[in-house]
Structure 1
């Protein structure tokens, strides 16, 4: 049973409850003042506390998608997420392979023409040789005969770090939200490409082209659009392409829209930060390259570099978000350059969590829809 399995969580909760009542029941038997009794009391308390914290940890991991598997949790996930044929064009003749399909959790979702479809895919970067798995949401219109000649705008959706792509479906409900908004006429039908920014696990590359290392910015700016275009009916680059993410994914989305406006016409940062951290999870991202390090600082970029022709949306909360003041500063810097368009969602309160982002995602998708074009 996997780390994110409901059965694992249920067993952990049941075990914690049994240990709690067992401790209450057997406590009188360990009331004596000898080493066996003291050891028994310590053992019962320790086991109960471990079981309770394990239950809470499993529940939190399911809610926020920190780790995808036991190997990921214990730091053993150190290989690429996808095994592909690295021959010319890959095993399927292209850089994108469909590995599985699943229904969308909406009424009538079993039929693609009603609910759309989620495809699990493998993407092999022809330029960077980075490989990653992703989930692609195709709206119902993609399968309807009257739209067979139509192309659709695309939004790349990124998790935070470490994150799991499945959390974008199960926790943040991106496909369901996109389906409901399009059905009600609040946004145009849109393809979503959902994945985590951790494409060189377990390293947090912060979507940086690392000197002598993974070229992750290029992977997101060049390889992903090329791979998706090779397989699906998608809108023109860049006017048909947007990118959105939360936390680390939000930083990546803003940076890609600013650095690569020829790839993304709009970028949304949900609770983003504005400067790549340097810590044990990232390692040395810049190898003393001050120019590269400065460009990765979005405040510096907005102040010192030519304004890119792109649209940005940032979100924050007056209470609960530590980067609220930085967000206001970033908005002012972008406004001053006159060319880059910027919008914001500022909540009265809301923490750095799924609940807050779920409140912002519908408005953010509508905002993206209004800026992206089909062919």
Structure 2
């Protein structure tokens, strides 16, 4: 991994630098106690250097824990590896596998016993959006007795900015799905893990932006089409679900509500219910009032027919800012009489990976019960 943003070596160097500078400041402070400009400059320099290295170490540790940015280029909004190689020959397709590995931390050397995680590139047939993703294939996918079977699938989205690899390595979606299936608590399913930010560094909020990325269409039309063309994903109605946390949670709920014919269930972990407008999103709607309304789930519940889909929302009584809104959303959905709503409400838990790891097992069980397979 070298000196990449997420490498342990970079974090170790930052921590070691902060410790050495702190020790050096304490040691040299008596010598710099004079009034001359050199002494004053030395004191300012040592304090500044210590503060910078301390903040750098804390920031790197937080990024390691929560997976906000994948690289230095990602951090500074200058990504160079966001593209996907598209094969335009007759044999090319909308989804290409670029790497395959074991499920981290789950054991099982062979695919038939431990499943596989594939790194893929996906290109939308109609939207031309290109994005990397990870695909978890359960052990049953490789077993001879299931060779003609199709599987339900769940799309899993990060927050913003997020990294797709964090869904595998930090939130442990593949390992959790495998362990639940081994314990008989959840059915085997395919997981497709990616960022909702398919046009980085812009936060598109899964909106079809006028003159910009058609993000909602990518998730509603292109992604399901690409998955079914490449994997044995069931084509029956109700075979797809969608899960997300934070921004991804908002996207999951919205896409499930807008496209119940495609997604039978949507789970929003620590979700919000209306697309924000800020420096990261830019002007999402370009003055289109209908588009703005459609991105507001409160408006949808009031003015549109209730969708025939199942929703799951999560929050905590202490630590999550969406708690009151989530309780209100539950009541609004219940009042429709058609859309089904479930919830996970923890006693305490902040807007972070640790909270979502506590909610993911029950979420995977819930969504597995609502998807059709063969």
Indicate conservation of the 8 Å contact 1:237/1:264, yes or no. Answer: no
Displacement after TM superposition at 1:130 (Å): 0.4
Indicate conservation of the 8 Å contact 1:247/1:271, yes or no. Answer: yes
Displacement after TM superposition at 1:341 (Å): 0.6
Structure 2 residue 54 is the aligned partner of structure 1 residue 52: yes
Displacement after TM superposition at 1:252 (Å): 0.1
Displacement after TM superposition at 1:108 (Å): 3.0
List aligned pairs for 1:308-327, cutoff 5 A.
Answer: 308-327=307-326
Q: Number of aligned pairs? A: 372
Residue equivalent to 1:248: 247
Deviates more, 1:171-180 or 1:11-20: 11-20
Displacement after TM superposition at 1:66 (Å): 1.1
Residue equivalent to 2:83: 82
Residue equivalent to 2:19: 17
Structure 2 residue 274 is the aligned partner of structure 1 residue 275: yes
Distance 2:218 2:11 in 1: 35
Residue equivalent to 1:234: 233
Indicate conservation of the 8 Å contact 1:238/1:261, yes or no. Answer: no
List aligned pairs for 1:23-42, cutoff 5 A.
Answer: 23-42=25-44
Distance 1:18 1:140 in 2: 49
Per the normalisation by structure 2, the TM-score is 0.97
Displacement after TM superposition at 1:269 (Å): 0.2
Distance 2:236 2:289 in 1: 30
Residue equivalent to 1:184: 183
Deviates more, 1:15-24 or 1:309-318: 15-24
Structure 2 residue 142 is the aligned partner of structure 1 residue 143: yes
Indicate conservation of the 8 Å contact 1:104/1:110, yes or no. Answer: no
Residue equivalent to 1:61: 63
List aligned pairs for 1:196-215, cutoff 5 A.
Answer: 196-215=195-214
Displacement after TM superposition at 1:280 (Å): 1.2
Structure 2 stretches lacking a partner, 5+ long: none
Distance 1:109 1:69 in 2: 30
Residue equivalent to 2:172: 173
Instruction: Give the 3-state SS of the residue equivalent to 2:362 in structure 1.
Output: helix
Distance 1:343 1:83 in 2: 37
Distance 2:328 2:264 in 1: 22
Structure 1 stretches lacking a partner, 5+ long: none
Indicate conservation of the 8 Å contact 2:181/2:188, yes or no. Answer: yes
Displacement after TM superposition at 1:318 (Å): 1.2
Distance 1:208 1:67 in 2: 22
Displacement after TM superposition at 1:237 (Å): 4.6
Indicate conservation of the 8 Å contact 1:207/1:252, yes or no. Answer: yes
Distance 2:112 2:44 in 1: 59
Distance 1:106 1:283 in 2: 39
Distance 2:199 2:177 in 1: 29
Instruction: Give the 3-state SS of the residue equivalent to 1:166 in structure 2.
Output: helix
Indicate conservation of the 8 Å contact 2:104/2:169, yes or no. Answer: no
Kindly report the root-mean-square deviation, in angstroms, between the aligned alpha carbons of the 2 structures. Answer: 1.3
Residue equivalent to 1:374: 373
Instruction: Give the 3-state SS of the residue equivalent to 1:97 in structure 2.
Output: strand
Displacement after TM superposition at 1:110 (Å): 2.8
Per the normalisation by structure 1, the TM-score is 0.96
Q: Deviations over 1:16-75 (max 9, x none)?
A: 111121222222221222111111111111111111110100010111111111011112
Displacement after TM superposition at 1:82 (Å): 2.2
Indicate conservation of the 8 Å contact 2:86/2:92, yes or no. Answer: no
Indicate conservation of the 8 Å contact 1:246/1:270, yes or no. Answer: yes
Distance 2:129 2:109 in 1: 33
List aligned pairs for 1:255-294, cutoff 5 A.
Answer: 255-294=254-293
Indicate conservation of the 8 Å contact 2:156/2:193, yes or no. Answer: yes
Distance 1:106 1:66 in 2: 22
Displacement after TM superposition at 1:233 (Å): 0.8
Residue equivalent to 1:332: 331
Distance 2:249 2:104 in 1: 25
Query: Measured at CA, do residues 215 and 237 of structure 1 come closer, stay the same or move farther in structure 2, by a change above 3 Å?
Result: farther
Residue equivalent to 1:111: 110
Indicate conservation of the 8 Å contact 1:310/1:341, yes or no. Answer: yes
